[in-house]
A and B are shown apart, each in its own frame.
Chain A
Amino acid sequence: MSGAVREDFREILRLVRPNARVLDVGCEEGELLELLGREKQIDGQGLEISPAGVAACLARGLAVVQGDGDRDLDHFPTRAFDYAILSKTLQQMREPRHVLSELLRIAEQAIVSVPNFGHWRMRVSLMTRGRMPETRVLPDPWWATANIHLCTLRDFTDLCRDLDLRIDACAALSGGKPARPINPDGPLENWRSETALFLLSRRADAVPQAAPLDLFGEVALPTPEGVKPTRRRKVSAPSS
């Protein structure tokens, strides 16, 4: 494997089983699908909105559909894939909640990465400048950004809980550093993870859970009636 592989791709490559069926939503020019094809012999399918991206994928010999993650996931059959990948674009979807459910209808597992708006750089920038943060992860000004549904790590794990999704693995990505397996509910991670990459699946035995306290005094969610607050089990990345 060449040294130029993006760290998030490297982590995805680690998570995906060989010969799996993979849907990459927002596959851009097909770099990841090509990498997975070469290294893991996957059977890949891309979904990409930009004509240039679609053309590049076709030239690479990838199966790609020009389409929109917000609208076109509904037409894929249930459990058609082993993995559905949504890399850094969930926050650009009009309906991220629906998209996330759809990913886990279409595929056994979803690999989703999200920039963490709770990262300390965001918080410090907002606190000191009083303006929407512009960082290396989210570099565009508020009026030009495609990111319409930003969330923090905490928000995302809440949503997963809400949708009865199980977090099978989670890794933090910062800059070009290698992925670091994390417990996304660990109190420090919402401060120090720039981007988090999740491996998700549908939970068979769903139990609603309370969110733990954030270091900066964010309050825990009220516990649903009749359900005893349970400690969330520790989540760790599977060994490759």
Chain B
Amino acid sequence: MTGTAAATPQFETNGGTHSFPAGKALRLDSGATLSPLEIAYKTYGRLNATRSNAILVCHALTGDQHAASVHPVTGKPGWWDRVIGPGLPLDPERYFIICTNVIGGCMGSTGPASIDPSTGKPYGLTFPVITIADMVRAQAMLVEALGIETLFAVVGGSMGGMQVLQWAADYPEKLFSAVCIAAAARHSAQNIAFHEVGRQAIMADPDWRGGAYETAGVRPEKGLAVARMAAHITYLSETALQRKFGRELQRDGLSWGFDADFQVESYLRHQGASFVDRFDANSYLYITRALDYFDLAARHDGVLAGAFRKARDVRFCVLSFSSDWLYATAESRDVVRALNAAGCRASFAEIESDKGHDAFFLDEPQLDRTLRGFLGANAAARGLA
């Protein structure tokens, strides 16, 4: 399916939205409850007879459930289609792979653009503030609804990696293994600062309308685009940006004005403009907030190892990229040290790459080899064919 923008992969086995019955409300960390709850998801491959081959893939901030499926809005291949597929590290012929859209998202799961049953209008800013733990609780409800007691693995990068760590803290008994890629156990001041720039850009857009833009029939596209532009810089390494663009100009000579003279400017504008087609501004506010609130150690008196005390039977693999400055290797090392301190079985590798944080989406053979090796060995340990 890579390269061709139309076909649904043959190994896609389900796709849709699970609506929980009215009695099944999602209780949130904030104290609020979310009901009705809908979770949009995709599955690849088939659940085996013993229901022991399920892998949950968790997406990043602006990702969605279309991990290996053509994106319905952009028509582009799935965001992890180079990892999920026959013969690839997450092989649907061997595993039953589930990817859900996080709550607060905008691709079908309940989020700020969903209709608030009490008003009949989109939630907007009346949507409750959510956390990474809330996202994971919702995923656990879906996994249970699919009849799966234990996941063979939970895998994710960036915000997905944070969900993986949260899974290990909250549902260790439901996990056989966990793969956390390019993530951290908490958001740093710098992480929060970049997100705040993005949120302020959205809220400064007059079309944001206090979050009620949908009712007003407008969209804060300019603000959301600027938020994406700022964030996009944090996903790339300085080396990658320099290599890709340097000081190259769009056309001969300078404009002596404020057009996009430099190719890097044009690239960022394009990133911003295309992002607004597929993402909702309020979702961006809510999900970045969830990330900023993330601090796994907080509930354990600030001791990260405390979060993993019950996860001693989970097999962990933590991976970082050498040029990632958004969630740097040091952050992953802190996670590994906490896992060691808690007596967990942990593997850790720093993958050499100059592509920055986004390396986990890109062609990194060492990432593939590591995933394949780790999952393959654990599949053998779990007795998967």
Contact = CB atoms under 8 A, between A and B. Distances in A.
Nearest to B316: A63
A213 B114 CA distance: 85
B336 interface: yes
A55 B373 contact: yes
A67 B347 CA distance: 10
B370 interface: yes
A149 interface: no
A65 B340 contact: yes
B71 interface: no
Contacts of B370: 55, 58-59
Contact of B373 (A58, A66, A76): A58
Interface in A151-191: none
Contacts of A60: 373, 377
A76 B351 contact: no
A211 interface: no
A62 B369 CA distance: 14
B343 A80 contact: yes
Interface string B330-351: 0001001100111101111111
A61 B373 contact: yes
A76 B339 CA distance: 9
A77 interface: yes
Contacts of B352: 51
B-side interface mostly: helix
Contacts of B22: none
A62 B378 CA distance: 10
Interface string A72-100: 10011100100000000000000000000
Nearest to B381: A61
B340 A55 contact: no
A116 interface: no
B380 A58 contact: no
B206 to A, nearest CB: 50
10 contacts: A58-B317, A58-B347, A58-B373, A61-B376, A62-B347, A62-B377, A65-B347, A66-B349, A67-B348, A72-B337
Interface string B343-385: 1011111111000000000000010011011101110110000
Contact of B348 (A62, A66, A80): A66
A137 to B, nearest CB: 30
A51 B366 contact: yes
A75 B337 contact: yes
Contacts of B66: none
Nearest to A46: B347
A209 to B, nearest CB: 35
Given A45-B345, A76-B341, A55 B369 contact: yes
A199 interface: no
A55 B349 CA distance: 8
Given A58-B349, A64-B347, 15 more contacts: A43-B345, A51-B352, A58-B370, A59-B369, A59-B370, A60-B373, A60-B377, A61-B373, A61-B380, A65-B336, A66-B349, A67-B336, A75-B340, A77-B340, A80-B340
A16 interface: no
Nearest to B369: A55
B42 interface: no
Nearest to B317: A58
B343 A77 contact: yes
A99 B342 CA distance: 21
Nearest to B336: A65
Contacts of B377: 58-62
B315 interface: yes
Contact of A51 (B337, B341, B349, B374): B349
Contacts of B341: 75-77
B350 A63 contact: no
B348 A55 contact: no
Contacts, number: 72
Contact of B340 (A43, A51, A54, A76): A76
A102 to B, nearest CB: 13
Nearest to B373: A59
Nearest to B370: A58
A45 B341 CA distance: 13
B317 A61 contact: no
Nearest to A53: B349
A72 B370 CA distance: 21
A55 B365 CA distance: 11
9 A-B pairs closest in CB distance: A61-B377, A59-B373, A75-B337, A58-B373, A65-B348, A54-B349, A66-B349, A63-B345, A63-B347
Contacts of A61: 373-374, 376-378, 380-381
Contacts of B381: 61
B343 A51 contact: no
Contacts of B349: 51, 54-55, 58, 64, 66
B345 A51 contact: no
A66 B347 CA distance: 8
A60 B340 CA distance: 20
Contacts of A66: 348-350
Contacts of A67: 333, 336, 348
Contacts of B336: 65, 67
A72 B340 CA distance: 10
B177 to A, nearest CB: 11
A51 B380 CA distance: 24
